[in-house]
């Protein structure tokens, strides 16, 4: 991390009303919101293993930051086992993963992201069985500071609808060239509610089919990412513009491998996507593939879904 980034504030994930409910994502904030509080202050609901749990209405929220004494793969598997215990009787709707040194080689030379994916996938399979792909929620995994793994999740009582992008191969169906276990997530998750739908769009990047697009161009990758976001939004039933209709509350996070791209990305998003009431954070982070420069995710509340 450069000295300039080292002095920037880091993104805080706020679940509870006091410091016990605030988690450091380990990502420098380049611009925009420094605190992510998607559900407002939530009520403490105890602990399961290292996870601190909270209730916000019908939602169960949880997060933990764990060290890696037995390696990243074991930490991921054990943390996900605790997530399944905590969410017992509820459905997972969204998971955020902040993976240390995500593109660096781990033990045996396997990339840390692939080690993380193997631990996560094995946990899902052990809990849900071989058909676990149908239960996978939306998710993201980006690189953070070395030393610890941070994971936050949201679960709900209503059965969610998990959505794929017709422009992309489902991540859980990626071929073995991307690692010994495919990534375990859906492109989006839709949760119906009386005041409109909650829609979580996973971390989305310049991947078409399963191939990385334009590895040498941040602008072309941004164009592809925006097309993928709209493809996912359409598959969810959202209106054009990624559900920016009356009453919808929208939160975006843009992860940038290169901090110098922030002004360009912000200008394009202001012109093509963002509305005045939207909340957005621009974050410096390594992306799950070393050739990817940009990843964008969205969380929508009160959205109209057709």
- Specify whether 295 is catalytic: yes
Positive or negative CA dihedral for 281, 282, 284, 289?
positive
Check residue 3 and give its pLDDT: 52
Q: How far apart are the first and last CA of the chain?
A: 44
The per-residue DSSP string of the chain comes to --HHHHTS-EEEEE-BSSGGGEEEEEEEEEEE-SEE-TT-SBEEEEEETTEEEEEETTEEEEEEEEE-TT-HHHHHHHHHHHHHHHTTTSEEEEEEEEEETTTSB-GGG-BHHHHHHHHHHHHHHHHH-TTGGGG--EEEEEEE-TTEEEEEEEEESSPPEEE--TTB--GGG--GGG-SS----BSEEEE--TT-EEEEEEEE-SEEBTEEP-TT-HHHHHHHHHHHHHHHHHHHTPPTTTS--TT-EEEEEEEESSGGGHHHHHHHHHHHT--TT-EEEEEE-B-SSTT--EEEEEEEEEE---
- Residue 34: per-residue pLDDT: 97
Is 0.75 surpassed by the pTM of this model?
yes
pLDDT digits (tens, 9 = 90+) for 100-138: 999 999 989 999 999 999 999 999 999 999 999 999 999
Q: In which domain, by residue range, is 55 found?
A: 3-303
Of residues 1 and 290, more confidently modeled:
290
Residue 6 — pLDDT band, cuts 50, 70, 90? Answer: low
Pick the catalytic residue from 36, 81, 111, 295: 295
Q: Which of 35, 89, 58, 112 is nearest to 279 (CA)?
A: 35
Number of domains in the chain: 1
Q: Over the stretch 227-281, which tens digit does the pLDDT of each residue have?
A: 999 999 999 999 999 988 888 999 999 999 999 999 999 999 999 999 999 999 9
Q: What CATH number is associated with residue 249? A: 3.30.1330.40
Does residue 1 surpass a pLDDT of 60?
no
Phi-psi region of 272 (alpha: psi -120 to 50; beta: other; left: phi over 0): alpha
Mean pLDDT of 66-83: 97
- Read off the pLDDT of residues 146-205 as tens digits, 9 standing for 90 and up: 789 999 999 999 999 999 999 999 999 999 999 999 999 999 999 999 989 999 999 999
Average pLDDT for residues 8-14, to the nearest whole number? 95
Identify the band that residue 19 occupies on the pLDDT scale cut at 50, 70 and 90: confident
Q: What is the pLDDT of residue 2?
A: 54
């Amino acid at each position: 991390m450069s000295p300039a980034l080292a002095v920037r504030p880091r993104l805080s994930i706020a679940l509870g009303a006091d410091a016990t409910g605030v988690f450091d994502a380990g990502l420098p904030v380049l611009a925009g919101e420094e605190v992510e509080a998607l559900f407002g202050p939530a009520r403490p609901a105890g602990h399961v293993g290292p996870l601190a749990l909270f209730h916000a209405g019908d939602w169960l929220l949880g997060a933990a930051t764990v060290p890696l004494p037995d390696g990243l793969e074991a930490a991921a598997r054990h943390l996900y086992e605790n997530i399944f215990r905590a969410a017992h009787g509820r459905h997972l709707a969204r998971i955020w993963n902040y993976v240390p040194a995500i593109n660096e080689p781990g033990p045996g030379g396997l990339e840390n992201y692939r080690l993380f994916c193997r631990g996560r996938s094995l946990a899902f399979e052990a809990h849900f069985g071989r058909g676990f792909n149908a239960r996978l929620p939306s998710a993201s995994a980006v690189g953070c500071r070395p030393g610890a793994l941070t994971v936050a999740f949201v679960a709900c009582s209503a059965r969610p609808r998990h959505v794929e992008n017709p422009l992309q191969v489902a991540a859980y169906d990626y071929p073995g060239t991307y690692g010994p276990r495919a990534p375990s997530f859906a492109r989006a998750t839709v949760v119906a509610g009386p005041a409109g739908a909650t829609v979580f769009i996973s971390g989305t990047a310049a991947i078409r089919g399963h191939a990385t697009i334009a590895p040498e161009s941040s602008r072309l990758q941004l164009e592809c990412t925006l097309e993928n976001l709209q493809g996912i939004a359409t598959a969810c039933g959202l209106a054009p513009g990624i559900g920016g209709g009356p009453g919808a509350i929208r939160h975006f996070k843009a992860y940038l491998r290169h901090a110098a791209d922030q002004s360009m990305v912000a200008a394009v998003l202001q012109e093509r996507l963002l509305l005045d009431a939207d909340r957005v954070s621009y974050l410096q982070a390594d992306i799950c593939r070393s050739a990817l420069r940009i990843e964008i995710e969205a969380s929508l509340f009160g959205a109209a879904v057709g």
